[in-house]
A and B are shown apart, each in its own frame.
Chain A
Amino acid sequence: MLTKTPAADAVLPAPAALPVQAGAVSFARWRARLTTLAMSLLVGWHSLALFVAPAPADSTTVQALRSVLQPYLSLLRLDTGWGFFAPVGKHAQFRYVIKDGGGIDHTFVPTEEAATSIPKYVWWREWKYLFDGIMESAEARASSLGPLLCREHPELDPLFVTLVKIQEENYLPDDVVNGKRPLDPEYATVETLVRIPCRSSPVQPLRQSIRPRRPT
């Protein structure tokens, strides 16, 4: 049979302290519960955003969820489809032609220029995407691009700069075996996008598509 010893008395809490301790335990338990609830809400919300962001937008459920999640997705740059290389498709190369003071054309292919510095080498792809963007909205951006490109070549005394898009076409294994390259004239369509005067005068939009004939 257990008997109460003086030592046991000494470690027992005073009666007045009991409600305080019970309150503290209860508070700690509630705090833990609330913390878990907050953490659960955050992981649940973020997981939902991760699933919804790339989901096809034609579903009504996705549209409904998007209406709630959109600010979160946009503000934190989570709104992406993760569609890498889907499709791979055919690409286009950006070129520009400067007509110099003597009336001679000089063609420049920025993505094929040798990188003259490590930053240029590292940021090649980003510049390539920038040029892709220019090709998409050449006319809208002509007024700001013209002066930039003309300023790049002051030694030519430029009169006009013409933006050109080289669209890739089908290129088959036999073409490789025959020693051809993907951007050889017979595998590409040349599209003149816009002609911009280097000295202040209006931009001249051009939309003529020139497709070189493939040799037979």
Chain B
Amino acid sequence: MTSLATPVRLGREALTSLGQAWTWFWFQECTTVPLEVVRIGIGALVLFHFGMATPFLLDLWGNDGWMPPEAARIYVDGPWLQSVFFYFTAPWQWIAFHAVFLFCIAAFMVGWRTAFVKWIVLIGQISFDYRNLTVVYGVDSIICSLLLIMCFAPTGRAMSLDRVRAVRAAKRRNLLATLPPYASPWAGACIRLMQLQMAILFFYSAVGKMRIDEWVTGDAIWLAFTTYEFYNPWLLEVLARQYWLVNIMTYGTLLIEIAYPFLIWQRRTRPYLLVAAIFLHVMFIVLMRLVYFGMVMIFGHLIFLRPEWLTRWGEAWKRSMGDMEMIYDGRCGFCVRSMAWLLAFDGLKQIRIRNFRTDPSPLVSDALVEKALYTVLPDGRALPGFEAYRYVVLRVPGLWWLVPLFYVPVLSRLLGHPIYNWIAANRSRLSALTASA
């Protein structure tokens, strides 16, 4: 009995350790912030890229364009390679789908109804790719891979309009309410999947290169820059006279690609590998004009950002911007709802609030706050009304999208002051109106 018990116990312990290692690798509770950084970046890039494709919609993907369906099907091998465009017959269907696709990418980028729109973005990207496989290259494969993982993941739980809506709903009940950041083991697993994707991509890219003579002999970069596609006379002139630079660039690329999948996982080496990989893609952008590819790869690499780095950067930003206190009228429903809306965008919690009705400010008299909202700056100065908002939107990253509105030279102040003053003067009426609505 004892002779059997020992291997059974050892087996059970081994299985338990394996299970623990599996859970430790995949299911660490994590916020979705790294995924959201990738979502915003990839969303912006895909939106811009496909927005720019609008004039070519029927030329590149239409039935009467450069790739008629019968020609497209030559490249589509098997029943699993599907595109919605194969089922369209009239031009308006292409236009309608493209409009919906662009709208969904924009929604995906800002994180509005993310749980739903991300699937449409994935279907759209795959459909565009499979309808005309001659115009796609590596970057499109990378985007599909990253989008799929983002579809699996609980994206949109941070740095998104979905989050803003959730926080706003809580703050409308109580302005001091805080919503804890979303974190889950599944978010950790999806971050890990995306990290694995980037590591595998670099690994196979390096292995593929090492089997090719031009990479082994150190001449690959020369060959790349002498094709008409990447032709750069200034750079070729330098490389022709200093050929050792070609060897350094070739082997440097190989070194980064082979080191990345192994050293990116370690705490100490991750920053160096991340910087090296980003540098490599910046070089692709600058020297080879591979802007879309380079930017997509850079945002892909950002999945390796540690949440604690982001927290530290957020804290550093808060410190450098200093304390901000907004003094508002807690008796005015419109003002409270406006504050809830504003605070919902303040993900870093930079803004402190004070209701002068219950907690009068020692710096700004009640009589002044009766007329307008005030922001008290770190140096003790107080800005009223429009100027208070103008100060805040530049310093709260979640409100940066308002900067163009508040900082148009002359015009912003010219229109902003009277608009704000009118709202402040009529806030009781607006409160009644919005409350009944």
Seen from chain A, the residues whose Cβ lies within 8 Å of a Cβ on chain B are 36, 39-40, 42-43, 46-47, 50-51, 54-55, 70-71, 74-78, 80-91, 93, 111, 117-119, 122-123, 125-130, 132-134, 137, 140-141, 144-145, 148, 168, 171, 173-174, 176-177, 181-183
Contacts and interface: CB of A to CB of B under 8 A. Distances in A.
Interface in B268-298: 290, 292
Report whether over half of chain A's contact residues are helix, strand or loop; otherwise say mixed.
helix
A119 B54 contact: yes
Nearest to B55: A119
6 contacts: A39-B186, A47-B193, A76-B148, A77-B126, A122-B292, A123-B56
Contacts of A86: 205, 208-209, 211-212, 215
Nearest to A122: B52
7 interchain residue pairs of minimum CB distance: A133-B134, A74-B80, A86-B208, A176-B240, A173-B240, A83-B208, A80-B141
Interface residues of B, number: 76
A199 B106 CA distance: 45
Contacts of B145: 50, 77-78, 80
Contacts of A173: 222, 239-241, 243
A210 B185 CA distance: 63
B192 A177 contact: no
Contacts of A181: 231, 233
A75 B226 CA distance: 37
Interface string B105-135: 0000000000000000010011001101011
Contacts of B401: none
B229 A91 contact: yes
A83 B144 contact: no
Given A50-B197, A130-B135, A173-B240, A39 B27 contact: yes
B228 A148 contact: no
A50 to B, nearest CB: 5
Contact of A119 (B56, B67, B214, B233): B56
Nearest to B297: A84
B66 A76 contact: no
B389 to A, nearest CB: 33
B405 interface: no
Interface of B: 22-23, 26-27, 48-49, 52-56, 60, 65-68, 71, 74-75, 78, 80-82, 122, 125-126, 129-130, 132, 134-138, 140-141, 144-145, 148-149, 152, 185-186, 189, 192-193, 196-197, 200-201, 204-205, 208-209, 211-212, 214-215, 220, 222-224, 226-229, 231, 233, 236-237, 239-241, 243, 290, 292
A42 B54 CA distance: 36
A103 B129 CA distance: 40
B228 A82 contact: no
Given A76-B148, A119-B56, A144-B68, 9 more contacts: A36-B185, A50-B145, A74-B80, A80-B138, A122-B48, A126-B60, A130-B60, A137-B74, A182-B226
Contacts of B78: 70, 74
Contacts of B227: 88, 90-91, 168, 182
Which one of A117, A140, A144 has the highest number of Cβ atoms from chain B below 10 Å of its Cβ?
A144
Contact of B226 (A40, A47, A125, A171): A171
A70 B22 CA distance: 26
B204 A176 contact: no
B189 A39 contact: yes
B204 A83 contact: yes
A78 B228 contact: no
Nearest to B68: A144
A76 B241 contact: no
Contact of B52 (A40, A81, A123): A123
